Structure 1
Amino acid sequence: MNLSVKHTKSQIIYITIEKQIYEGKLKAGEKLQSIRNIAKHFSSSISVVQSALRNLENDNLIEAKPGSGTFVKTLKFQNASKNVFLSLPSEGHIYEDFSQMLRNKLFERGFVPITVDYNQMISMSPASAFQKNIDEILRSGIRAVIVYGGSYWRHPFLEKHKGVRSVFLCHVDYSGKIPDRAVLLDHERAIYLTTAHLAANGRKKIILCTFKPNPRSLSPETFTRHHSTQFISGYDRALKEYNIASYRKIFYHTGIDINEDLLKKLMHAAEPPDAIVCDSDYHAMLFINSAIKLGIKIPEDISITGNYNTPWSELSPIKITSTCFDWEDLALNAVKLAIDDNSEHKIIYLKPILKIRKSSTV
């Protein structure tokens, strides 16, 4: 909104809702608040709100459904070729900032991101009305689809729309070839870097702490390509390179089981570890909190590393050594592959760098 221009109350309501739609804060198919609540929020009259909603409906941004309410419209954008469909998580330390960064990069290039409910996108049985709306969008002549590849196997919606340009992000864990373009994180190298760092500093009994995808729900090819499997590959490579593979131990966590009891059990084993490589900074912090309560010194008694360089790596009581990816580079590459006419059908792997902090070095 241009604050130097004086707007009527109706225009302010229109511009605010329009902005929320284009920024993905109001998603396709999402129900708007009641007219009474909108009027209360803007300190306005019901008639003024109705006027704003009529204009939004005339511009094909919302639609009123008698008896149900008013919803964000899932299609009917004026210039479909300037739209880019986004299917990615927008919550959490990593993805909240990244999804906003990606939308901003598209806006800067003159494209409009269409953001939908990611939880429904990865549902194995999305609602039929939701699926119909997605199909309509993908048939509308949009510029491209940018897809977070995690859990895409649950709902491979592009199989019906093979002609649509697609860019997969971060990782891909479904069977078959990547259909088009991709910008992926090199998960194997990330865990290799942390494990090799520990080994180079004299640690010889290194445990990998990660989660295990259920092989019963994944094909063998999908299981092999899953990022947890890639973590294990990087861990094994470092152990072999430093000739300490005889100790190889992997703990498959559920997230909630990383606590004092677990760490006490690990440290009282016949061969206790001298380092733990974690699949995330959050899980590394859980180990650190448990160690502090048990009087275990970090890194003197045991070194701990994380992954992704999230705020947890700095917020932890002992700052965490972690791997770092350039998320802006990821966004720039994704947008380029999505909208540039001469972009190639290729897969880009982003290399991590190691951020060494107190949790791993004495």
Structure 2
Amino acid sequence: MTEKAAEKKTGRVTIREVADDAGVSVAAVSKVLRDAYGVSDALRSKVRASMARLGYRPLAAARGMRGQTYTLGLVLPDLRNPFFADIMVGVNNALERTQYRPLIGISESSVTNEMAIVESMMDRQMDGIILIGSTEDRNNHEKIAAAKPLVTIGHHDPEAHSFDTVNNNDQQGAMLAVKHLAANGYKSIAMLSLISGTSTILSQRELGYRRAMIEVGLSKNINVVQAPQTLREVQLAARRMLGGSNPPDAIFCWTDFIALEVISVATEMGIKIPEDLGIVGYDNTVYCDFAQNGLSSIDQSGELLGLQAARLLVERIKGRKQAEHFVVTPRLVARRSSRS
């Protein structure tokens, strides 16, 4: 069924009605809808004003039959981590002046869920996909990229050719955290990480932690604790670490979401922060700056990551073939949780 026929059957405003209202041809309206090359700002404004006045909405299914739906699929591991909200702000900012709209799926860090969501997005003819904190390996990424333009955030694969990656330098960020803690007098610095067999960001952060501990002369105190990303498991891991016979005097947490929970557990146990325990998180989310938290954290510019990912994906959709691998330089934002 054509878009015109579908609109007539459902009583929707037609493209011809938009053209008549704007005083332009149907072809001109079509060019604006396709964001075609050579359309003037004046024509685009006139047509969009008529679309808004008449309440015109193009049918996604009909647009998909012509090649584009102007929808982008974003797959997130979960909704609880506030860092993903920063990424979404960046994505929305990048798409603000385009016709593209992001639609979100939640994988819950499950490979099975992630692939099922991606397949559903492809079935719905979304124009491209952004995977955030992906659980996939290169083989699956290449399969996705063969079907749809793909950009990953939080997945290090600088040798990939069929898709783009957007990251911060996770190894450097972890090293900044450890060296900051060591410079403030902490000696027994542990890392609270996540149980994950495929995450390249975790492997890079753990590697950075180990490298920094060696460089500051604390190699004998290297202690990486991995826990599932549920509040109960994080609480149990933190209590075991802090209640043991040789507790750490500082903890570097792989994400702020976890670090804030460690602050809560330590406070309940009567441990003074930062006198008895220094804590550094990762992401520098908005909650770090709350007075009751004062969490030192590694800033990896979440909004910038989202903005660049959306930019690269649109470029891919428009025909760019050569892979790009964008990397942000992290910085440490020191607050009172680490004797700043």
- TM-score, normalising length: structure 2: 0.69
Residue 212 of structure 2 aligns with an amino acid whose one-letter code is A
Show the counterpart of 1:181: 164
Q: Post-superposition shift, 1:196? A: 1.0
Which residue of 80, 103, 110 maps to 1:115? Answer: 103
Show the counterpart of 2:129: 145
Which residue of 312, 332, 337 maps to 1:359? Answer: 337
Structure 1 residues 267 and 165: alpha-carbon distance in aligned structure 2, compared to 1, 3 A threshold: closer
Q: Is the 1:288–1:317 Cα contact (8 Å) retained in structure 2?
A: no
Please tell me whether residue 85 in structure 1 is matched to residue 59 in structure 2.
no
Q: Is the 1:282–1:312 Cα contact (8 Å) retained in structure 2?
A: no
Specify every segment of 5 or more residues in structure 2 that has no aligned partner in the other structure, as ranges.
1-10, 13-53
CA RMSD of aligned residues (A): 3.9
Residue 101 of structure 2 aligns with an amino acid whose one-letter code is P
Q: Post-superposition shift, 1:191? A: 1.5
Secondary structure, aligned partner of 2:91: helix
Residue 339 of structure 2 aligns with an amino acid whose one-letter code is T
Structure 1 residues 156 and 319: alpha-carbon distance in aligned structure 2, compared to 1, 3 A threshold: same
Please tell me whether residue 251 in structure 1 is matched to residue 225 in structure 2.
yes
Specify every segment of 5 or more residues in structure 1 that has no aligned partner in the other structure, as ranges.
1-9, 12-51, 62-72, 216-222
Please tell me whether residue 313 in structure 1 is matched to residue 301 in structure 2.
no
Q: Distance in 2 between matches of 1:161 and 1:287?
A: 38
Show the counterpart of 1:34: none
Q: Is the 2:162–2:323 Cα contact (8 Å) retained in structure 1?
A: no
Structure 1 residues 337 and 343: alpha-carbon distance in aligned structure 2, compared to 1, 3 A threshold: farther
Q: Is the 2:259–2:279 Cα contact (8 Å) retained in structure 1?
A: yes
Show the counterpart of 2:112: 124
Please tell me whether residue 76 in structure 1 is matched to residue 63 in structure 2.
yes
Show the counterpart of 1:101: 90
Show the counterpart of 2:8: none
Which residue of 132, 150, 157 maps to 1:166? Answer: 150
Q: Is the 1:86–1:146 Cα contact (8 Å) retained in structure 2?
A: yes
Show the counterpart of 1:208: 191
Q: Distance in 1 between matches of 2:219 and 2:201?
A: 21
Q: Is the 1:206–1:249 Cα contact (8 Å) retained in structure 2?
A: yes
Bigger relative CO (Cα 8 Å, ≥ 6 apart): 2
Q: Post-superposition shift, 1:288? A: 1.8
Structure 1 residues 152 and 178: alpha-carbon distance in aligned structure 2, compared to 1, 3 A threshold: farther
Residue 327 of structure 1 aligns with an amino acid whose one-letter code is G
Secondary structure, aligned partner of 1:159: helix
Q: Distance in 1 between matches of 2:118 and 2:239?
A: 48
Show the counterpart of 1:39: none
How many residue pairs match? The answer is: 283
Write the mapping of 1:1-362 to structure 2, written as runs, cut at 5 A. Answer: 59-61=58-60, 76-77=63-64, 80-81=67-68, 83=70, 85-89=72-76, 91-92=79-80, 93-108=82-97, 110-119=98-107, 124=112, 131=119, 134-135=122-123, 137=125, 142=127, 144-153=128-137, 156=140, 159=143, 162=146, 164-172=148-156, 177=160, 179-213=162-196, 215=197, 223=198, 226-254=200-228, 255=230, 256-259=232-235, 265-267=240-242, 269-315=244-290, 317-340=292-315, 344-361=322-339
Q: Distance in 1 between matches of 2:191 and 2:109?
A: 31
Q: Post-superposition shift, 1:230? A: 1.6
Q: Is the 1:152–1:172 Cα contact (8 Å) retained in structure 2?
A: no
Higher helix fraction (1 or 2): 2
Secondary structure, aligned partner of 1:152: coil
Q: Is the 1:195–1:206 Cα contact (8 Å) retained in structure 2?
A: yes
Which stretch of the first structure deviates more once superposed, 328-337 or 305-314?
328-337
- TM-score, normalising length: structure 1: 0.65
Residue 338 of structure 2 aligns with an amino acid whose one-letter code is S
Show the counterpart of 1:15: none
